[in-house]
Structures are given as structure tokens and as C-alpha cells.
Amino acid sequence: MVREEIVIGHGPREDHKEQVFLAAGGQIMKRLTLSVVIACLAVTCLVVTAPSARAQEARMVQVGDHQMRVRTSGLGDREAGAPVVVLEAGFMLDGLSAWTSIFEDVAAFVPVIAYDRAGIGQSELDGVPPTPQHIVDKLHTLLGVLDADPPYVLVGHSLGGPFIRLFAASYPDEVAGLVYVDPTATTSAEEQADLDTAMGISAEQRRQQLAEAPQMPTPGANAEMTLILEQFDRNWPDFQTLPPGPDIPVTVLMSNRFQPSPSDAIERDCAPRECYARAQEVRMAWLSKLTTEVTNGTLTVVTNSGHFIQNDDPDLVVWHIRRVVESEAPVGVVDLDPSLLAEYVGVYERSGAQFTVTLEDEQIFVQITGQQALPAFASSKDEFFLRVVDAQISFGRDSGGAVNQLVLHQNGRDIPWERVR
């Protein structure tokens, strides 16, 4: 008999190996691992697709006294008020090539923009040091030059993750959603100390590693290298005092494929895989904050992809971008009488797995075997929704009015569970 594995947050296709979890209250699942990626210095192979009629080839546009390279689709026939997806690449990456694997598929349902940051790829240097705020403001200026009015759904890979977070803080009324693709963690001094300990290295070893960073091949790349080294050395000062971002849909995709580095000569107090697993738990806690600060936030652990999730699993990234673009307004919470909430408490089963419903301090929690308990909120009698995971739960009743089943609604699936006690 084949056992069906039910995971809250299962992806858009049956063959996707991914899981979604809420790290609430600082609780981290012991069996979870996630990759720790500071910055990637090499571009992996990209999947190239044929251009559609709507997509424009790369072109140069004048931004102030220098030119920047962009690729756009759908801006000319965009409906009023429709969002524009803006793709922000990672550290030192050609912004167009970094997104080749998904650009056409995203362009099929929404206007989209990819670009090279100043001094990167084919965009010219603008003569200004690339501070995080300058990068964000430069992007905002570019969007104006392109006549791409808000709202924007920003997609950031690696170092692009912090940049889209800063953009949302700088222009909160213009951002409709955020999609983080294995983002860099902008850790505080305390969080970095925890990460160093988990990775089995000392702070001095980390500083030595940063000091040995190689020279980059172009002035623009060297400028970004200087930026990232300064940010790491000073614990990301531009991001420690950011105000809360807008309450918009947020999705975080986190790589979870162990990739040992044969060139890593640092002495650690643990084996590579053990260090990896320990560091993953720390990073999991940090990334969860990106989702718990909003009403509609999702953290997805992708077990079959490396750092470049958009290359390893482009369909998954496109699906999550579409989900954020098409997100509806958050459902309101309805207060139900505690006696009614108590009627849902019990154990429900399906294919050998259990779905447990508990009640603590007038708050319903739901938990599938082997996963963390998640808070569920009532939208009406017998109808609940989860905030961090895009899922809903309907409770069914027998002819006598007793609760006898629940149905988990997620990713287009309706999964029934029968009450056993």
C-alpha cells in the first residue's frame, strides 16, 4: 500500500518536493533543514525559452546621465490598476539572465520587468556607491522612466531579497506583494552570533573569510562586493531599523538541498551536514519573521532545489508569483463562542496520517502528523483559514449536528479527513 503524505502547503504539482511551515513562537521543526546562502558568486545553467510576441528583447534606457538595460513585457497593454512584477537579481548577477528561466511564463499572465542594476551586466555605472537605499531609489526612478506605475509585486533572489524588503519600506503604498527566492538573511549581531555557532565557526573565522573575498572582474561587481562586505561586517545596519512593511501577501521560498563545498577549508566543530542542519534551523527562524509580520505570509521549504530555485524548479517559482499576484483581500476573523470552538476539537484521520485540532485560550490550533501546530482563525461557523499558509478548513457535521469530518482546501485540492475521536 502506498501511503499518502499530506503536508500543509503542498506545492502546485504532485512531484514538487516542498513543505510549508510556520515557525511560530520560535519553535523550529527538528527534522527540517534549509540552506544557508550568503551570496552566490557564480551563475548556474539557465533554461532558455523562446520569446513570446508580448515580450520585448533587452534594450537600453536612459536613466539620468547613464543607461540601464531592461527587458519588459506587457506594459503597453496593461490594464489600469493591474500589478507589475519586478524581478530583482542576486549579488553581482546579470539581472536579465538571472530570470531567463521564468520570464516568459510570468509574462504570460502579468506585466513583468527585469533589469541590470547600475554597473552590473550591461547597465552603466552611475558614479554613486551602491548603498542599499541608492539601489532601491534607482529602481524606483527606472520604473518611472518606463512609465510602469504601481502597484508592484517585487520578486527578489538572494541579495535581491533585502533590496525588495527595503523598497517596500521606502515606498509602502506602491507595493502589492513580495516574493523572496532563497533570500539573504540580514541578521543582527545577536542573530549572526547564533548563526556562527550553528555553522561551527567563530566570529573571527567569519571575518577572516570575508577579508579573503576575491577581486571581482568589473568595477560594478567590485562595488557590489564592497557593499556586501560592509553590510556583513556591520550587521546590515540599513535593515535593522526598518519600519514594519505594508500588510501585503508575502511568500518566502527557501532552498533545502545540501551542497557541500570541496573548497571550504574552514575548521568547524561539526561535520558539514551537521553544521548545515544546525544553521538551517537558525535561518528558518529568521526567515519566518518575514511571513509572520503580515496577515498573508507563506514560508515554503523547497527540498529539491539549490540556491537558484528559479532555475532548478521554475514552475514552482512562477506558481508562487501568480499566487501573490492573484491574492485576494485577507478574510476577516469572526469571534466564535468557546463552546462552539470546543466542538471542533478532536483527531481526524486520512491514509494513516492524523490531523489534530486543539483549543488553547480560545484559539484553535491544527496539526498534521509530524508538523508544527498552526493557529486557525474562524471566518464563519465551521469555516476557518490559516494566515501563514494559504489554506482553509471546513468542518462537516452529521445528521445530528455533531462535527464528524473536516476538509482541507489548499492549492486547488479538497482533502477530507474523518473524525476518529
120 in Cβ contact with 135 (< 8 Å)? no
Average the pLDDT over 206-230 and give the result: 81
Per-residue pLDDT of 372-385, as tens digits, reads 788 899 999 999 98
Q: What is the mean pLDDT of the chain?
A: 82
More confident residue, 346 or 326: 346
Q: Is residue 54 part of a domain?
A: yes
Q: Is residue 27 part of a domain?
A: no
The beta strands (E) that lie in 74-116 are given as: 84-88, 112-115
Verify that 132 and 270 share a domain, yes or no: yes
3-class secondary-structure state, position 260: coil
3-class secondary-structure state, position 222: helix
Looking at 325, 354, 376, which one is the last position of a domain? 325
More confident residue, 196 or 250: 250
Verify that 215 and 237 share a domain, yes or no: yes
Residue 36 has pLDDT above 70, yes or no: no
pTM of this prediction exceeds 0.85: no
Looking at 325, 346, 375, which one is the last position of a domain? 325
Domain CATH code at residue 52: 3.40.50.1820
Per-residue pLDDT of 277-298, as tens digits, reads 888 888 888 898 898 888 888 8
Verify that 369 and 318 share a domain, yes or no: no
Q: Is residue 6 part of a domain?
A: no
305 in Cβ contact with 265 (< 8 Å)? no
Name which of 44, 40, 33 is nearest 301 in CA terms: 33
Q: Sorting pLDDT into bands at 50, 70 and 90, what band is 391?
A: confident
Average the pLDDT over 205-218 and give the result: 77
Verify that 296 and 351 share a domain, yes or no: no
Residue ranges making up the domain that contains 356:
338-419
Verify that 304 and 387 share a domain, yes or no: no
Average the pLDDT over 57-81 and give the result: 91
Verify that 97 and 154 share a domain, yes or no: yes
Q: What percent of the chain has pLDDT over 70?
A: 84
Side by side, the strands of the sheet bearing 84-88 are 18-20, 297-302, 250-255, 175-181, 152-157, 84-88, 112-115, 66-73, 59-63
Distance from C-alpha of 186 to C-alpha of 68, rounded to nearest angstrom: 27
Residue 13 has pLDDT above 70, yes or no: no
Q: Is residue 63 part of a domain?
A: yes
Name which of 227, 195, 198 is nearest 213 in CA terms: 227
Residue 17 has pLDDT above 80, yes or no: no
Verify that 61 and 175 share a domain, yes or no: yes
Q: Is residue 13 part of a domain?
A: no
Verify that 295 and 319 share a domain, yes or no: yes
End-to-end Cα separation, the chain, in angstroms = 24
Verify that 314 and 364 share a domain, yes or no: no
Q: Is residue 2 part of a domain?
A: no
198 in Cβ contact with 278 (< 8 Å)? yes
Verify that 269 and 374 share a domain, yes or no: no
Domain CATH code at residue 342: 2.40.128.50
Verify that 119 and 232 share a domain, yes or no: yes
Looking at 325, 350, 379, which one is the last position of a domain? 325
Provide the domain count of the chain.
Answer: 2
Q: Is 364 exposed, middle or buried (0-12, 13-18, 19+ CB in 10 A)?
A: buried
320 in Cβ contact with 251 (< 8 Å)? yes
Verify that 293 and 373 share a domain, yes or no: no
Q: Is residue 332 part of a domain?
A: no
Q: Is residue 11 part of a domain?
A: no
Residue 9 has pLDDT above 60, yes or no: no
Residue 104 has pLDDT above 70, yes or no: yes
- Among the residue ranges 47-51, 142-146, 347-351, 396-400, the one predicted with the least confidence is 47-51
Q: How many Cα atoms occupy the beta-carbon half-sphere of 220 within 13 Å? A: 17
Per-residue pLDDT of 287-345, as tens digits, reads 988 988 888 888 888 888 899 999 999 999 999 999 999 886 556 788 999 999 999 99
